[in-house]
Amino acid sequence: MQTKDFSTLPLSKEMVVNLDKIGYEKMTPIQSEALPHILDGNDIIAQAKTGSGKTAAFGIGILDRLDVKKFRVQSLILCPTRELADQVAKELRMIAKFTHNIKILTLCGGVAFYPQVNSLRHFAHIVVGTPGRILKHLDKESLDLQNLNTLVLDEADRMLDMGFIEEIQKVLSYAPKERQTLLFSATYPDEIVSLSSSIQKDAINIKTTSIESVNKITQRFYKVDDGLKLQTLINIFSNFKPGNGIVFCNTKLECDEVAQKLQEKNIDALALHGDLEQYERNDVLVQFSNKSCRVLVATDVAARGLDIKELSCVVNYDTPHAKETYVHRIGRTGRAGHEGLAFTLYNEYEDMDEYSDGDMIFEDITTLNTVNNFEMKPPYVTLVIEGGKKDKIRKGDLLGALTGDVGLSGSSVGQIDIYERQSYVAIESAFVDEVEKKLSRGKIKGKKFSVWIL
Ligand code: ADP
Ligand code: MG
């Protein structure tokens, strides 16, 4: 596989320097195949698996074209879920650091509409959002696409799965005909091909799956009676000892049940599904990413597009409804050269023929031992501080308060995430109670803040 430096592309020096700064030295295969065409202004339809760097592929293209002095929406990125939109925006902001004042706005459902209208009044260069909410802004004329030059459909296959086709078509009816349209999808069903032909012009087809499918994921399958599924799941954890993992269930109810039962068995787990409020989902995701939760029990929709680095394993507690979903699910592990583990539980009525190709291992559950007193506890616990960017809190302020007044050693502080009104700090479990007490009595930047343990 050939990888090239970003400096081989016709990009500004500032862009290349910043990419290097954020650790992007070489292009990923999808980037080196797609970027030359994107920079040439062509439409593309690109297929590459999750974690292959698609965001930067279109992100670099968009930012290269952007006229910062023109205070109009020039790019629109449609994503299937809020989480994915947040992630795309985060990645874009990182790539956009090479220059000042690029404004990237996310517009997703599930949060209040009018504050978004207000943000739009203050203009944005790039909008990232979910189709339904974007359409609402277009209908209410709070969003104007007259100056749009690039439209991106990220995870297009998933948006179709989720029934967004009508919204997408309507959003497109507001966009100028003269534009660049970039379509990204992990899979390539017929619907994608027909969507492409209806919204793109002479799209160049790019496919890198064949090169990248040689990622290191060991796939194990266990035939198991329904009554033994939970114990088999626990045995998988105790035998393979993954650092963390996502367990996929097909229903929200089952997610809650499995998470609850795992907790009862001393396996630290949280459920993630569409019935959670936005803030609850955020709490769960923060805990998982900062290592204060080791197992996420999720539905496909909720886990869609999450870029969780270093995910040790994926378990299909329920079999996916389609092979494409299977590919999506297990694509979360084995990223960025890490070895991944994928497990699938199925019952005697389920036909696994289509899975029995290549490197898949079909094993009997008796190969798994039952380990007594097995525990899976997180190394950190999350502390929430009721203060964030709005209060001008920065990482240094939190680290300073924790290592100064509170007297904690810096090595006991894990990931720090700062949001508008709240901050999350991962603290080594043994110290968290003491830290909570001291921090709630003390001050950060001369101000008192409420503090609690998540
Ligand atoms: P996809 O959208 O294809 O699922 P992402 O765009 O989320 O993948 O990228 C996966 C991860 O790889 C992200 O953490 C991103 O920051 C990182 N990444 C992307 N491009 C590069 C690169 N050229 N070099 C190093 N890391 C990269
Ligand atoms: Mg992506």
Q: Which residue out of 8, 50, 307, 308 has the highest number of ligand 1 atoms within 8 Å of its CB and is therefore the one to mutate?
A: 307
pLDDT tens per residue across span 187-203:
778 889 999 999 999 99
The single residue listed with the structure tokens 């517009």 is 107
| Cβ–Cβ under 8 Å, residues 94 and 126 | no
CA of 83 to the centre of ligand 2 (A): 11
- pLDDT at residue 98, rounded to an integer: 85
pLDDT above 70 as % of the chain: 96
| Cβ–Cβ under 8 Å, residues 159 and 131 | yes
Helices (H), 40-155: 54-65, 82-95, 114-121, 131-139
Q: 380-453: what fold?
A: Alpha-Beta Plaits (3.30.70)
Report which protein residue has its CA nearest ligand 1's atom 1.
51
- pLDDT at residue 255, rounded to an integer: 97
Q: How far apart are CA 101 and CA 115, in angstroms?
A: 21
Confidence of residue 272 (pLDDT cuts 50, 70, 90): very high
Per-residue pLDDT, averaged over 295-312, amounts to 82
Nearest of 15, 188, 29 to residue 96 by alpha carbon: 15
Could you tell me where in the chain the CATH 3.30.70.330 domains are found?
380-453
Q: How far apart are CA 34 and CA 47, in angstroms?
A: 10
Give the pocket of ligand 1 (CB within 6 Å).
23-24, 27-28, 31, 48, 50-56, 91, 307
User: DSSP letter string over 18-36?
Assistant: HHHHTT--B--HHHHHHHH
Confidence of residue 357 (pLDDT cuts 50, 70, 90): low
Structure tokens given for 15: 């862009």
313-316 and 245-248 strand pairing: parallel
Report which protein residue has its CA nearest ligand 1's atom 20.
53
Q: How far apart are CA 147 and CA 71, in angstroms?
A: 10
Q: Which range among 40-44, 113-117, 365-369, 405-409 shows the weakest confidence by mean pLDDT?
A: 405-409
Nearest of 129, 179, 192 to residue 151 by alpha carbon: 179
Q: Mean pLDDT in the chain?
A: 91
User: DSSP letter string over 335-374?
Assistant: -TT--EEEEEEE-TTS--GGG-STT-EEE-GGGSPPPTT-
State pTM to two decimals: 0.60
Q: Domain 6-207 class?
A: alpha beta
Could you tell me where in the chain the CATH 3.40.50.300 domains are found?
6-207, 216-367
3-state secondary structure of 450: coil
Of ligand 1's listed atoms, the one at least distance from the Cα of 59 is 6
Q: 216-367: what fold?
A: Rossmann fold (3.40.50)
Write down the number of H helices and E strands in the chain: 17, 18
Burial of 365 (0-12, 13-18, 19+ CB in 10 A): middle
Report which protein residue has its CA nearest ligand 1's atom 26.
24
CA of 79 to the centre of ligand 2 (A): 9
Q: Which residue out of 8, 21, 28, 159 has the highest number of ligand 1 atoms within 8 Å of its CB and is therefore the one to mutate?
A: 28
User: Cβ–Cβ contacts within 10 Å for residue 404, how many?
Assistant: 10
Report which protein residue has its CA nearest ligand 1's atom 12.
53
Helices (H), 96-173: 114-121, 131-139, 156-161, 165-173
Q: Is the pLDDT of residue 305 over 80?
A: no
Q: Is the pLDDT of residue 209 over 60?
A: no
Helices (H), 156-277: 156-161, 165-173, 190-199, 209-212, 229-240, 252-264
Q: Is the pLDDT of residue 2 over 70?
A: no
Residues 6+ apart with CB under 8 A from 403: 409, 410, 413
- pLDDT at residue 162, rounded to an integer: 82
Structure tokens given for 274: 């569409």
Q: How far apart are CA 171 and CA 167, in angstroms?
A: 6
Per-residue pLDDT, averaged over 91-118, amounts to 93
Crossing angle for the helix pair 54-65 and 82-95, to the nearest 10 degrees: 60
User: Cβ–Cβ contacts within 10 Å for residue 12, how many?
Assistant: 12
Q: How far apart are CA 232 and CA 345, in angstroms?
A: 8
**Ligand that comes closest to the CA of residue 48:** 1
CA of 199 to the centre of ligand 2 (A): 20
pLDDT above 90 as % of the chain: 70
Q: How far apart are CA 133 and CA 278, in angstroms?
A: 15
Q: Which residue out of 16, 27, 78, 91 has the highest number of ligand 1 atoms within 8 Å of its CB and is therefore the one to mutate?
A: 91
User: Mean pLDDT: which of 120-129, 201-210, 300-309 is highest?
Assistant: 120-129
